[in-house]
Chain A
Amino acid sequence: MPVVTTSWYVALSVALFTIGALGVLLRRNAVVIFMSVELMLNAANLAFVAFARHFNNLDGQIFVFFVITVAAAEVAVGLALIVAIFRTKNSINVDEINTMKG
């Protein structure tokens, strides 16, 4: 029976992070992009908790606590922004938001 080491959890975290990154870069729906960002944050949280356990230190979990808090704040503001943009452009396809084209 192989022992589950910290590396496994970190590997999982990496995989989730990568999937989240792909989501940010490849999806066109603004809300889905946002959700991918949340996924990335969660992946990072997983890594933190794994290391907290590895080093026998609570600091990792504290950090996760803060990450969740900040993620909440960020989601609130971000979604408000998306709604505001939707009001004007009537679409949440990020490809249509290109008026900053230089």
Chain B
Amino acid sequence: MNAFSLAPLILILPFLGFLFNALVGRRFVEADRRVGEQWTGWLASSMALVAFLVSASLGVSLAAGGFEAQTVKLWDWVVIPAAEFHVPWAIQVDTLSVTMMLVVTGVGSLIHIYAIGYMHGDRDFSRFFAYLNLFIFFMLILVAGNNYLMLFVGWEGVGLCSYLLIGFWFDRVDEKKQPMNANAARKAMVVNRIGDFAMVLALILMFWTFRSLEFETIFGSAVEMFERGEMVHFGSFSAPLATVVTAITALFLMGATGKSAQLPLHVWLPDAMAGPTPVSALIHAATMVTSGIYLIVRSNVLYEIARESGARVLGAISSPDLVAYVGALTALYAGLIAFTQFDIKKVLAYSTVSQLGFMIAAAGMGAYVAAMFHLITHAFFKALLFLGSGSVIHGMEHGHHHVHTPSHPCPSQGEGQGRGFDPQDMRTMGGLWNKMPLTFVLYLTGALALAGIAPLAGFWSKDEILAHANENNGGVYVLLTLAAICTAFYMGRQLKMIFFGQPRHEAAEHASDSPAVMWVPLAVLAALAFFGGYYLNLPYFSQAAAEAAHGHPEGDFLRLESWLEHSLAAFELTEEGVVNLPHTPIVFSPTVAGISTVLAVGALAAAFFVVYARRPGTAHDPDPLEKTPIWWFAILPVNTLYMKGLVPAFNRTAAWLADTVDERWWHDFFHDRLLRDGFLGWTRFINDVVDTQGVDGALVNGSGRLARALADLLRRSQTGYVRNYALGVFLGVVALLAYFIFAG
């Protein structure tokens, strides 16, 4: 069965959903709130669902057809024969893009369904779904395009949708009358733009070097040029291909830092939590922010060439290594910051930044399959966590209103803010495990998956990255392990603060669980988070088994690797000997897994001990371990080292980290002052000086004044005296005569 002709549907359907919701959706919703919401919401969700089905059928067709990549061309977009510039609007169906499509549409449709319940009662219900569908549309363009220009269109498009969705409640102001949502949206846009600038430069370089922007063409000619050792000519100056490829890949890294919130452009992601929770789940956990990783994985050939050639960025570090270190450092940095956040979504936001760092580090180290694996599992459990946090927030608001105004109808998220009660503040939660049991179980699944506890999905994917790092890049391994510890710790802290102990606020005492339309998608995601890792990319459990399969993925093992191998040209190039792809160990390594599990469990336990249960405290609390019975130490001797030595140190470090967080606010301050104020000053300059004075004053008004001045001047020649006029005539005649006789 050939489903490739259906491929354009994945683009058409979400766009239709967007049009419907944008143009007529509002009328439906306002006519009859209950029915209208169902209509618009389910229509949008069904568009995403059908797109998911189409993607699935594409995957099946691929598998049936031998995993050959197919290009479904829609039409020719840019054709400039003189410059040999030809860019089609075409969908590339290969295993990598189908993987991304499945993630985007699958998780996306679950989130659409969730949002039907979450956004219930919101004034702009249809607009929300219009934007969501538009986002799916652009994201699919990004992952399905067969050339970098389409990818860039999708790139920009998702940036736009991110802006629209973060600032969805754009008229909301905080206590200081600042439009915080609008500011956050604008910040996201501006920071993304910086990355986009790097992307454009990379596109230009690529076109100059390879004369095309299509993936197949570029990768093919890159390999050829690399093998032949060709030089790239820029006018009078030429550079070896490796240098240019290094430059391109470094620029891609910059673009990815903008889009995937890596250091130093991560500042927009925490602020983006001002948007509705489904937005955070979809865009800032599962899909948009992963586009940076997709970009790097798609360009694996270029990165491997850069790695192979040994060319260095600024003479210091090779481009893929730079990617790896940026990712690892971001993972650690964000993980540390998450320790001290009190807003439930901010913790998850920093966690996202940290996990994205994992993925980017994996891609930088050449473990593309591991990066994609973690991308998929992260989409599952992070979306689960975000949606779960949405349920918690919803429940808290219900509780708050139940306490204060029992007759008041259900508010939508965030209406509780600005009235002195923040439903997102974890310090007011607690003891919700029996108030919202369903949410608790689902959230727990997600948290454990994130922390990397076997056999949940997060364990397998994170472990693969760590194993790869262990074998190939020790520095990154250390950084990532530390980040993993942080991950487990802050998730444990979050679990403790939200679900365990005693309720710390009356709202928490009266919290209630979510409706079915909200917890069913969560359940699906939880199932995926539970079983996904095992199903997707299980490594061989013994060296013997691996050798029996000749080191190739087979059967139940390494399914994802065998699936993705067909699209990651780097694998082929390794076999041909062109590049040396750092090898991901395919055998389960008990050492690495053991270390990471122990550390994760230990961190979780430490969190449970350290974090308060009843009354809000500070990080300067006396070490609670002093009250712990001694037999704990006997049972877990390894943990003793951590608990006796590391935990007090961690307490002190956490206190110091509060200052680091101040530091982060300084960073923000830096960004706010430098970027935002600079930008605003620049626009003000352009408006007041250039536009008002320059264009208006000098050009427009000035030309008027000039005309008037000239007229005044010329008016003096109209003296009214005939003799003056006669003189003028005489002057002209004499001049002409003299000219013709002497010069003519």
Residues of A in contact with B (beta carbons under 8 Å apart)? 21, 24-26, 28, 94-95, 97-102
Asked if B720 is an interface residue, CB under 8 A from chain A, the answer is yes
Evaluate contact between A94 and B727: CB separation under 8 angstroms. Answer: no
Asked if B715 is an interface residue, CB under 8 A from chain A, the answer is yes
Evaluate contact between A98 and B723: CB separation under 8 angstroms. Answer: no
Evaluate contact between B720 and A25: CB separation under 8 angstroms. Answer: no
Evaluate contact between B726 and A24: CB separation under 8 angstroms. Answer: yes
A26 to B724, CA, bound (A): 10
Q: Report A26 CB to chain B, min CB distance, Å.
A: 8
Task: Write out, one digit per residue, whether chain B residues 698-734 have a CB within 8 A of any chain A CB (1) or not (0).
Answer: 0000000000000000010011111100110010000
A24 to B715, CA, bound (A): 24
A98 to B719, CA, bound (A): 7
Evaluate contact between B720 and A102: CB separation under 8 angstroms. Answer: yes
Most buried by A among B715, B718, B722, B727: B722
- Given A24-B726, A25-B726, A25-B727: A95 and B715 within 8 A (CB)? no
Q: Report B90 CB to chain A, min CB distance, Å.
A: 70
Q: Report A44 CB to chain B, min CB distance, Å.
A: 13
Evaluate contact between A102 and B715: CB separation under 8 angstroms. Answer: yes
A25 to B730, CA, bound (A): 9
* Contact residues in B for A101 (Cβ distance below 8 Å): 718-721
Main secondary structure of the interface of B (DSSP, over half): helix
* Contact residues in B for A21 (Cβ distance below 8 Å): 730
A26 to B99, CA, bound (A): 99
* Contact residues in B for A24 (Cβ distance below 8 Å): 726, 730
Q: Report B708 CB to chain A, min CB distance, Å.
A: 14
Evaluate contact between B730 and A94: CB separation under 8 angstroms. Answer: no
Restricting to B312-353, which residues have a CB under 8 Å from any CB of A? none
Q: Which of A94, A97, A102 contacts B718 (CB 8 A)?
A: A102
Task: Tell me how many residue pairs across A and B have CB atoms closer than 8 Å.
Answer: 29
Q: Which of B715, B720, B726 contacts A99 (CB 8 A)?
A: B720
Evaluate contact between A100 and B726: CB separation under 8 angstroms. Answer: no
Among residues of B, the one whose C-beta sits closest to the C-beta of A96 is: B721
A58 to B646, CA, bound (A): 128
A-B contact pairs, 21 of them (CB 8 A): A21-B730, A24-B726, A24-B730, A25-B723, A25-B727, A25-B730, A26-B723, A94-B722, A94-B723, A95-B721, A95-B723, A98-B719, A98-B720, A99-B720, A100-B718, A100-B720, A101-B718, A101-B719, A101-B721, A102-B715, A102-B718
- Known contacts A94-B723, A100-B720; can you find 4 more A-B pairs with CB under 8 A? A25-B727, A95-B721, A101-B720, A102-B715
Among residues of B, the one whose C-beta sits closest to the C-beta of A98 is: B720
Contact size class for B? 10 to 19
Q: Report B82 CB to chain A, min CB distance, Å.
A: 57
* Contact residues in A for B726 (Cβ distance below 8 Å): 24-25
* Contact residues in B for A99 (Cβ distance below 8 Å): 720
User: What are the 6 A-B residue pairs with the smallest beta carbon separation, nearest first?
Assistant: A101-B720, A102-B718, A98-B720, A100-B720, A94-B722, A102-B715
* Contact residues in B for A25 (Cβ distance below 8 Å): 723, 726-727, 730
* Contact residues in A for B727 (Cβ distance below 8 Å): 25
A24 to B723, CA, bound (A): 8
A7 to B657, CA, bound (A): 109
* Contact residues in A for B720 (Cβ distance below 8 Å): 97-102
Q: Report B719 CB to chain A, min CB distance, Å.
A: 6
Among residues of A, the one whose C-beta sits closest to the C-beta of B711 is: A102
Among residues of B, the one whose C-beta sits closest to the C-beta of A102 is: B718
A95 to B723, CA, bound (A): 8
Q: Report B197 CB to chain A, min CB distance, Å.
A: 58
Task: Write out, one digit per residue, whether chain B residues 554-570 have a CB within 8 A of any chain A CB (1) or not (0).
Answer: 00000000000000000
A58 to B719, CA, bound (A): 45
A98 to B726, CA, bound (A): 14
Evaluate contact between A98 and B730: CB separation under 8 angstroms. Answer: no
A100 to B715, CA, bound (A): 11
Evaluate contact between B715 and A94: CB separation under 8 angstroms. Answer: no
Most buried by A among B719, B723, B730: B723
* Contact residues in A for B718 (Cβ distance below 8 Å): 100-102
A101 to B720, CA, bound (A): 4
* Contact residues in A for B723 (Cβ distance below 8 Å): 25-26, 28, 94-95
Q: Report B458 CB to chain A, min CB distance, Å.
A: 89
Restricting to B583-615, which residues have a CB under 8 Å from any CB of A? none
A99 to B719, CA, bound (A): 9
Among residues of A, the one whose C-beta sits closest to the C-beta of B719 is: A101
* Contact residues in B for A26 (Cβ distance below 8 Å): 723
* Contact residues in B for A100 (Cβ distance below 8 Å): 718, 720
A97 to B721, CA, bound (A): 7
* Contact residues in B for A102 (Cβ distance below 8 Å): 715, 718, 720
Q: Report B733 CB to chain A, min CB distance, Å.
A: 9
* Contact residues in A for B730 (Cβ distance below 8 Å): 21, 24-25
* Contact residues in B for A95 (Cβ distance below 8 Å): 721, 723
Restricting to B514-559, which residues have a CB under 8 Å from any CB of A? none
Restricting to B435-460, which residues have a CB under 8 Å from any CB of A? none
A28 to B724, CA, bound (A): 12
Among residues of A, the one whose C-beta sits closest to the C-beta of B734 is: A21
A100 to B726, CA, bound (A): 14
